[in-house]
Structure 1
Amino acid sequence: MEQVRIGIIGMGNMGSSHAKNIFDGHIKGAILTAICDERQDRIQWAENMFGNKVQCFNSYDDFFANADIDGVIIATPHYDHPPLAIKAFKRGLHVLSEKPAGVYTKNVREMNEAAVESGKVFGMMFNQRTNPLYQKVRELISSGELGEIKRTNWIITDWYRSQSYYDSGGWRATWSGEGGGVMLNQSPHQLDLWQWTTGLMPKRVRAFSGFGKYHDIEVEDDVTAYVEYENGATGVFITSTGEAPGTNRFEIVGDCGKLVVEDHKLTFSRLRQSEREFNRTYKGGFGEPECWKIDIPIHGKTTEHIGIMNNWVDAILHGAELLAPGEEGIKSLAISNAVYLSSWTDDWVEMPIDEDLYYEKLQEKIEQSTFKKEDNNDITLNVSGTH
């Protein structure tokens, strides 16, 4: 194969952006051959934009049966990601899915199993992994320079949204339309980076969520989650769409210092002696290890979605290592599912979570939801990335 023929499902903001990038030649070794969307106005947009060079379908079944493609990019509502990916794998197609991987881990696990069985290249659109700043954070931790992690803390509250934003679509901020609020819509990138940079997954979670705390919505718009890790470290994740001005500050404290990401900068407060060693050997009473504050230089630039698509195509054509393997999408989703379950049950949640219990609780929320898909045809505008 010298070129990957790509079809895109979902022509909302992100899907149409991906389509234009491929069509305009920004993805080396890729050609856009088909698109699919259930909304006729989006089909018309694609026909006007791409002419007769791209096949257009308004039916998923028709698309999978007749599109001239080697791989698909899924940019649909959250709930549709796993079932569409599974269909694609059964057709022998490579898959790149927008985030989140899905709404609940139970069917995302089925998607991962289908991916492995197919042997096809499966990527997730975690475009923030292309950011050299977070790559440097991961490098400093994985190399051991920070030492064993003691604490993580991410405050990400600069997602402010007005009531008019939520009122712009009947599906927005509903359990049946989106499957969640700020944890599932705005924060998946940070949840992914939280575990990707540190290499840690929580062993248990205790969370407190405000459902409609600052807005007239049924899902959460404010979350404080406390987690514990296997090595004894702890973490806190705070997010909200109801604070102005907001904060975006990520701290990781290790035995050999502290990393802080804020204002697009990385600072390393580096200890000349590990804290644990200093604690054991220092005899002077008051005192602490000598610390150097270093502004870490960041080289390169974030390639965002184009970078992830190029990497995915390179993996298909040349066997390149994926920066964001699709199977890893379940990790950040598992954290958000644990946060919801803890908030709903008002109790600790051990990980891995009880997936059947989570699914049961989610179905209860969906049944009570104000949005019914059959009553509103604008659900396809709920495209991952259109936050």
Structure 2
Amino acid sequence: MKKLRIAVIGYGGMGSYHFNQILPTERDLFELVGVYDLKADRQELAATAGLKTYKSQAELVNDAAIDCILIATPNDSHKEIAIAALQAGKHVVCEKPVTMNAQELREIMEVAKQCNKVFMVHQNRRWDPDYLIVKELVNSGEIGDIFQIESRVHGANGIPGDWRRVKKHGGGMLLDWGIHLLDQILWLVDSPLKNIEADFSYILGEECDDGYITYLTFENGLKVITEVGTTNYIKLPRWYLKGTKGTAEISDWDLSGKMVIATNAEVAAPKPIQAGVGLTKTMAPPSEEATVTQNLPKGVTLTQSFYQNFYDVVVKNAAPIVKNEEVLKVMELIDHIFDVVDKHS
């Protein structure tokens, strides 16, 4: 089996993670070649790891021995590097967000087509086990037809890193984590968007958003909330789904959670409970016979990892799991969210 020789531009957190954690599990498909990074300490780190270090980006891009290039640099540099790599005859994997806006991605897609080279975006959160459980819940109908989805990631550490705080580099949490949450939702929901509302958080005083929230309504009636927060000392559940037959919750990435499903058994009306200084039947817990609590399903299975699929796309002309047209829809949505917020600010 032919191995693809791959090198990385940008040996920071994500670039080194690909080389040290992800790609080593695919050594039957890829040979790890070398690295270029603007920072000398990262060059030294790569050399210590036994990787070839290139003196310049151009030297790496034009190395005829390289088949593929991984781009893991700040967001505003992705377009320039991707186009140079494609025109040099390389296949390209690009970290997310792929570009600063949808138009930049369209330009890359056109160059990839002209050069007949593969360009794929590392939207790795499509493989998250919590998301695959949600995908199964939507597909299976275990809690009925789902009419509301809430997808959140919360933390209290502020905006990570350095350039992620800088607007010109594509910083901010909508482009950092929102790109994942929105990609997951658009890959999940087979219906056009009908309405989009959004708001940003600037609590930390940075020039980029330290959090955001969107309210999406699809033409099939589904309502979706996505939210990223970096000033949340108490987290809300990672996922909360409401269906016509029940409710499901996934608390965190440890996959803790449950489903509560209506039995449709004939039961007595609920008795009023004391709620604050009043009584309520509406908010009283249902009787034991009215619902059943179940474990979450295991989740749908994706038969290939990202890099296994990338290899097959390059070598066997297979269909990509992450299609550029899908990523383009996400970028168009993000462009729209920025416009919505700007108009109301």
TM-score by length of 2: 0.79
CA distance in 2, matches of 1:268, 1:118: 49
Q: 1:257 to 1:81 in 2, by over 3 A?
A: farther
2:128 is aligned with 1:131: yes
Match of 1:190 among 156, 171, 181: 181
Aligned residue number for residue 19 of structure 2: 19
Partner residue of 1:283?
Answer: none
> How many percent identity over aligned positions?
26
Deviation of the 1:15 alpha carbon: 0.9
Distance in 1 separating the partners of 2:146 and 2:112: 33
What is the letter of the counterpart of residue 148 of structure 2? R
Structure 1 residue aligned with 2:48:
48
Which of 69, 87, 90 matches 1:90? 87
2:273 aligns with: none
- Tell me what 2:342 maps to: 344
Q: Aligned pair in 2 of structure 1 residues 28, 292: CA closer, same or farther (>3 Å)?
A: farther
CA contact (8 A) 1:132 1:301 kept: no
Instruction: Describe the shift of the 1:255–1:248 C-alpha distance in structure 2 as closer, same or farther (beyond 3 A).
Output: closer
Instruction: Determine whether 1:35 maps to 2:35.
Output: yes
**Residues 240 and 133 from structure 1, CA distance in 2 versus in 1: closer, same or farther, beyond 3 angstroms?**
closer
Change (3 A) 1:229 1:22: closer
Secondary structure of 1:184's counterpart equals helix
* Counterpart residue number, 2:201: 210
Larger radius of gyration: 2
Question: 1:205, 1:333 → 2: CA distance?
Answer: 14
Identify which of 102, 105, 118 aligns with 1:108: 105
Question: 2:331 and 2:91 mapped to 1: Cα distance?
Answer: 22
Judged with a 3 Å threshold, the aligned counterparts in structure 2 of structure 1 residues 200 and 95 are, in CA distance, closer, same or farther, namely: farther
Retained in 1: the 8 A contact 2:102–2:332?
yes
**For residues 201-240 of structure 1, what are the structure 2 equivalents within 5 Å?**
202-211=193-202, 213=203, 215-240=204-229
CA RMSD across the alignment: 3.4
CA separation in 2, counterparts of 1:19 and 1:206?
Answer: 38
C-alpha contact 2:135 2:300 (8 A) present in aligned 1 = no
The answer to which of 196-205 and 237-246 deviates more is 196-205
Structure 2 gaps of 5+ residues are 265-281
Matches within 5 A, 1:355-374: none
User: Hey, what's the Cα distance between the residues in 1 that align with 2:200 and 2:154?
Assistant: 14
- TM-superposed deviation, 1:30: 0.5
Q: Which residue of 2 aligns with 1:161?
A: 157
Shift of residue 346 of structure 1? 0.8
Tell me, what secondary structure is at the counterpart of 1:16? helix
- Counterparts in 2 of 1:261 and 1:189: CA distance versus 1, 3 Å: same
Q: Distance in 2 between matches of 1:271 and 1:316?
A: 48
Distance 2:262 2:112 in 1: 44
Deviates more, 1:42-51 or 1:225-234: 42-51
- Tell me, in whole angstroms, the C-alpha distance in 1 between the residues paired with 2:110 and 2:77: 17
Q: What's the counterpart of residue 276 of structure 1?
A: none
- Whether 1:176 aligns to 2:168 is yes
Name the structure, 1 or 2, with higher relative contact order (CA <8 Å, separation 6+).
1
**Given the superposition, is the C-alpha separation of residues 102 and 271 from structure 1 closer, same or farther in structure 2, using an over 3 Å criterion?**
farther
> Structure 1 residues 147, 90: CA separation in 2 closer, same or farther (over 3 Å shift)?
farther
Contact kept? 1:6, 1:73, Cα under 8 Å: yes
Quick one: which amino acid aligns to residue 306 of structure 2? I
> 1:68 offset after TM fit, Å?
1.7
Counterpart amino acid of residue 137 in structure 1: V
Match of 2:5 in 1: 5
- Match of 1:185, SS state, is helix
Q: Residue 266 of structure 1: CA displacement?
A: 5.3
2:69 is equivalent to residue 66 of structure 1: no
Aligned partners of 1:28 and 1:313 also within 8 Å: no
Match of 2:148 in 1: 151
Equivalent residue letter for 2:48: N
